Amino acid sequence: MLAMDFCGLHFNTPQVLLSGCVGFGEEYTRVKGFSNTDVGAVCLKGTTLAERLGNEPHRLAETPMGLLNAIGLQNPGSARVVAEYLPKLDFSETRFIANLSGSTVEEYAEVTRIFDDSPIDAMEINISCPNVKEGGVAFGNDPDMSARVVEACRTQTRKPLIAKLSPNQTDIANNARRCIEAGSDALAVINTVMGMAIDPEQRQPVIGNNQAGLSGPAIKPIALLKVHQVYQVAGPLNIPIIGQGGVTRPEDALEFIIAGASAVGVGTALFYDPLVCSRINSVMVDYLKRHNMTHVNELVGSLQLHEPATSVCAN
Amino acid sequence: MNEHSRHAAAHPATRDTIFPEQAPILLHEAFAGDQHIIRLQAPEIAAHAQPGSFVHMQVHPTLLMRRPMSIMRANPKAGWIEILYKAHGEGTRLLSERRIDELVDLIGPIGTPFKLDGYRRRPLLIGGGVGMPPMIFLAEHIRRQATDNQPLVILGSEVPFPFKARPSQILVPGLPAEVIAGMPLLEDWHIPSRLCSQQDFPGCHQGFVTDLARLWLDSMEPRQHGEVEVFACGPTPMLKAVAQLTAEYDLPCQVSLEEHMACAVGGCAGCNVRVETETGPAMKRICVDGPVFDARQVFPQAG
Ligand SMILES: Cc1cc2nc3c(=O)[nH]c(=O)nc-3n(C[C@H](O)[C@H](O)[C@H](O)COP(=O)(O)O)c2cc1C
Ligand code: FES
């Protein structure tokens, strides 16, 4: 009922653990009862060509129903990830997806080449990281640059490529179209929303990097709309979407699938409940049975919009 | 594209070492200065906790993030743990309103604890404010080992201590006679303790924990410094001062650190601090690489 094909990869379930929330794939297995087999895939932490130490503390701040983070892409560099981290992963449990980052188009291509020559199952192109000075969201908010990055990665691999789109741009559907034309096999929608927290006593930002990316339930309505918008472009082309942003309760996962996501990402919710994925699976199965469906695919994009209103004002 | 074997790697030893538990509140006591001690029934955590370990707690269902809390005591036989916290933010304030028998969702024990194989025979434990709990845990551990070691615990607080201080019956050579207030629990374990504060609390040293530690060190024969080892937890300025002192006297020193945390299992890299390693600077995760680090790695400028 939940097992599925995603770009030719076998996913145990439609859930994906999100980049930056689960280290390099093994960290959450510390928790008794947690299992990577509950999810279809695990996205590893954003990886650049050379090692990055990341930002100074504080890197985290809690906000109402949200979490601000500015880690600054701390990672040991792609060569070490391939040599030291991938051999520790149990590929019989789930699919593992690398998350690629860079400050130049050439760096993205080089990181892709390094992961192509590794057992990794697929690669997610992070053109939407808000927490680094160069590349990241600066590329992701410019459709031309997004397309150039995807094209450059495409020349280096035949493994599935997933462009991860930023919500911090005006026309996400157009950007999605450009990424698909440039060779992206799937899309991840959305990365974090840029934000800030201020300590009024110190008159300083709480986060060492000053600005940060917001995740968690606070961004879910934004994410749902973006998935719906991207699905209008990607659905007809059979390009699957990993919907994400604030999934916390099992119902949230269903909402993303109805909006058009083939798979659903879980990140920040793990911090509250490390065992949330097995709960989401069982509620999904119940839901499908209740609605006389035999497979989760039947639910994808099944949203029934209201008739268009005569008013053009959203208020 | 090369063919790569998708092997089933041997699972790392860290698997299944952190236990989720729904822990009933057994005791919940309030002290002056918004301090609280909570006792929770959490048998797996109690059985596996070591000095320096912490739990990651859902303080209240309305808050998205858990809170890391040091374990102050663990009773593996009775299956409970005790935590001391100060209600200074929204989360800890909501926690302070929770009642006996309510369930608290915990994961733990977490963290690389204090390294205690072959520690020196005069352990000096320094705890400041909400940094006291790991020192109490460590003291209880040292007592259980029943060796001929001679520990000393120095505690500092700017709000009234979360216990009723009483004059210590255990003489500590080298300390001023009027500095006599100690912690009853430690007294019961026959471990000498002394208290410090900038406030004028009776029987306490009026000044810094490091001042009292220095008096103690200076009262010894210099060769005895080779028997001293320091363990500390508290606010950063205090830890810096402790690192400075131990560098000056060339004493080994382990410190336990705190930072905002999201996952507390090593997944998000949100809790990292800069440390100096043999291969240069690194950003280490306080939750799983720490919370205990060598003081010289965290404060390389000290001394
Ligand atoms: C602590 C943290 C670190 C993150 N690091 C990355 C990263 O390295 N690369 C990336 O593409 N997204 C990163 N993200 C974004 C998540 O993968 C995800 O897209 C976003 O958090 C929205 O989902 P959520 O609300 O379920 O967390 C990070 C998010 C968090 C909270
Ligand atoms: S809190 Fe997530 S790595 Fe430490």
Q: What is the pLDDT of residue B245?
A: 97
B97 occurs within a structural domain: yes
User: What 3-state class would DSSP assign to B31?
Assistant: strand
Give the CA count within 13 Å in the CB-facing half-sphere of B10: 2
Give the pLDDT score at B8: 62
- B100 within 8 A of B41, measured Cβ to Cβ: no
Confidence class for position B147, pLDDT limits 50, 70, 90: confident
pLDDT given at position A133: 67
Q: What is the pLDDT of residue B303?
A: 62
CA atoms within 13 A on the CB side of A71: 27
**Joined tokens for residue A238:** 């059979």
Candidates A164, A209, A222, A210; CA nearest to A191 is A164
CA distance linking residue B185 with residue B208, whole number of Å: 22
The set of protein residues with a Cβ atom below 6 angstroms from ligand 2 is: B 261-264, 266-271, 285, 287
A64: which 2 tokens?
A: 């109402």
- What is the Cα–Cα distance from B114 to B253, expressed in whole angstroms? 10
Number of Cβ within a 10 Å radius of residue A293: 14
> Which residues of chain B are within 8 Å of residue A53 when distances are taken between CB atoms?
274, 281-283
- B146 pLDDT band (50/70/90 cuts)? low
Domain count, chain B: 1
On whether residue B196 sits in a domain, the answer given is no
Give CA–CA dist B90/A127, Å, rounded: 35
Domain presence at residue B269: no
Closest-approach residue (CA) in chain B for A246: B64
| Average pLDDT of the residues in B3-25 | 85
Closest CA to A88 of A49, A118, A123: A118
Among A129, A153, A179, A277, which one carries the catalytic annotation? Answer: A129
Alpha-carbon span B130 to B127, nearest angstrom: 8
Task: Describe chain B by its helix, strand, coil percentages, rounded to 5.
Answer: 20, 30, 45
Mean pLDDT of the region B80-103? 95
pLDDT higher for B147 or B227?
Answer: B227
Question: pLDDT value at position A134?
Answer: 67
Between B4 and B32, where is the model more confident?
A: B32
pLDDT tens-digit profile of B166-183? 999 999 999 999 999 999
Cβ atoms within 10 Å, residue B10: 9
Q: Buried b vs exposed e over A153-192: b needs ≥16 C-beta within 10 Å?
A: bbebbebbbbbbbbbbbeebbebbbbbbebbbbbbbbbbb
Q: Is residue B23 part of a domain?
A: yes
**Considering CB atoms only, which of B8, B260, B269 is closest to A92?**
B8
The answer, for A268 touching chain B at a CB cutoff of 8 Å, is yes
The residue written with tokens 């400075």 in the block is: B244
Range of the domain at B38: 10-110
State both tokens at B100.
Answer: 């006996």
Mean pLDDT of chain B: 94
pLDDT of residue B2: 46
Question: What is the 8-class DSSP label of residue A85?
Answer: I
Nearest to A168, CA basis, from A136, A128, A196, A197: A128
Report the alpha-carbon distance of residue B91 to residue B62 in Å, rounded.
9
Label residue B25 by pLDDT band (50, 70, 90): very high
The partner residues of B274 in beta bridges, in order of sequence, read: B283
Is the predicted pLDDT of residue B3 greater than 60, yes or no? no
Sign of CA dihedral B288, B294, B295, B300: negative
CATH code at B81?
2.40.30.10
In a domain, B21, yes or no: yes
- Please say whether the beta carbons of A239 and A13 come within 8 A: no
pLDDT in tens, A143-182: 999 999 999 999 999 999 999 999 999 999 999 999 999 9
| pLDDT given at position A314 | 65
Residue B27, in any domain of the structure: yes
User: Which residues, at least 6 apart from B170, have a Cβ–Cβ distance to it below 8 Å?
Assistant: B182, B187, B190, B191, B192
Closest atom of ligand 2 relative to the B262 alpha carbon: 1
Closest chain A residue to the Cα of B263, Cα to Cα = A271
As to burial, measured by CB atoms within 10 angstroms (0-12 exposed, 13-18 middle, 19+ buried), residue B141 is middle
Question: CA B174 to CA B216: how far, in whole Å?
Answer: 5
Q: Kindly state the tokens that stand for B87.
A: 């209600």
The closest alpha carbon to B127, from B28, B213, B25, belongs to: B213
For residues B32-49, average pLDDT: 97
Q: Which residues of A touch B4 (CB under 8 A)?
A: 118-119
Q: What is the pLDDT of residue A207?
A: 97
Query: A265 pairs with which residues across the strands?
Result: A16
pLDDT of A61-105, one tens digit each? Answer: 999 999 999 999 999 999 999 999 999 999 999 999 999 999 999
Report the DSSP beta bridge partners of residue B176. none
Would the pTM of this model clear 0.80, i.e. be above it? Answer: yes
Q: Taking the CB of residue A126, how many other CB atoms lie within 10 A of it?
A: 32
Q: How far is the C-alpha of A45 from the C-alpha of A59, rounded, in Å? A: 15
Instruction: Indicate which of B283, B287, B289 best probes the interface with A, i.e. most A CBs within 10 Å of its own CB.
Output: B283
Q: Is the CA virtual torsion A54, A56, A57, A62 positive or negative?
A: negative
Cis peptide, bond prior to residue B291, ω within 30 of zero? yes
pLDDT of B61 reads 85
Tokens of B188: 């019961």
Pocket test for ligand 1, best of A108, A191, A272, A273 (most atoms within 8 A of CB): A191
Stretch B45-60: mean pLDDT: 97
Q: Is A144 on the interface with B (CB under 8 A)?
A: no
A129 catalytically annotated:
yes
Q: Write the CA distances from A103 to A52, A254, B50, integer angstroms.
A: 12, 35, 43
Asked whether the beta carbons of B156 and B129 are under 8 A apart, the reply is: yes
In 3D space, the residue among A41, A96, A33, A89 whose CA is nearest the CA of residue A278 turns out to be A33
Other Cβ atoms less than 10 A from the Cβ of B44: the count is 18
Going A120 to A122 to A123 to A128, the CA torsion angle's sign is: negative
Has residue B213 been placed in a domain?
Answer: no
Task: Classify residue B65: in a domain, yes or no.
Answer: yes
How are beta strands A41-47 and A60-63 bridged, if at all?
unpaired
Tell me how crowded residue B12 is: count the other CB atoms within 10 A of its CB.
Answer: 13
A–B: how many Cβ contacts below 8 A? 138
pLDDT by residue for chain A (315 residues), tens only, comes to 999 999 999 999 999 999 999 999 999 999 999 999 999 999 999 999 999 999 999 999 999 999 999 999 999 999 999 999 999 999 999 999 999 999 999 999 999 999 999 999 999 999 977 666 666 777 888 999 999 999 999 999 999 999 999 999 999 999 999 999 999 999 999 999 999 999 999 999 999 999 999 999 999 999 999 999 999 999 999 999 999 999 999 999 999 999 999 999 999 999 999 999 999 999 999 999 999 999 999 999 999 999 876 666 666
